[in-house]
Structure 1
């Protein structure tokens, strides 16, 4: 079932989300200070491409740098990314067929708000860390 949902997600909105996050990552890579944020944007883009069967967990080795980076991300980009995922998630949940895809959009909200210090892992091993 995950594969079917992922393929439908990929065609309807995953590809567009992935391309948008990748474009943002490329723009962030232009400045040296934006490289960690660009890496986070690429990671979110890959997760947005194929979200069913994966989840996010906190990284235990994340330090103070990820906290500072998350505050900057939240102020500059995270709040409007989360708002866009909320709006599209609600719109998708208005139809019965769109409910799983709306939930997938809601799953992207915590990661789009605070992406640094998180790791994307398969759902069958959510406690796996580096």
Structure 2
């Protein structure tokens, strides 16, 4: 599940992605998707993989508590709070790690990024480079 900062970074530079299609895959209950989309301000399609079949196929694992609540993650949440953002209680599996996937025009995976902690998501520049290289 992407953090709000990750979505905001992509959204701010959305025009640089050209005609690439961007989507978010989450394991959020489909009934909660509208609230999820509104909370994150996601400007692209969001689909639910409630059984986490795609997560499993890509090898996206659940993290340990140490991974999920790493120093970097705590700093990220501290930064959000200092900037005036409010944290919401989640109903999700907070230990499920995420991934970023760039799919080539032929449908193959051009780049799979499996961050070790929630705060280690790739920057927009890394995603754009992978997209250009696809």
Name which structure has the greater RCO, CA cutoff 8 Å, separation 6+: 1
Tell me whether the two structures share a fold, i.e. TM-score over 0.5.
Answer: no
TM-score if structure 2 supplies the norm length? 0.28
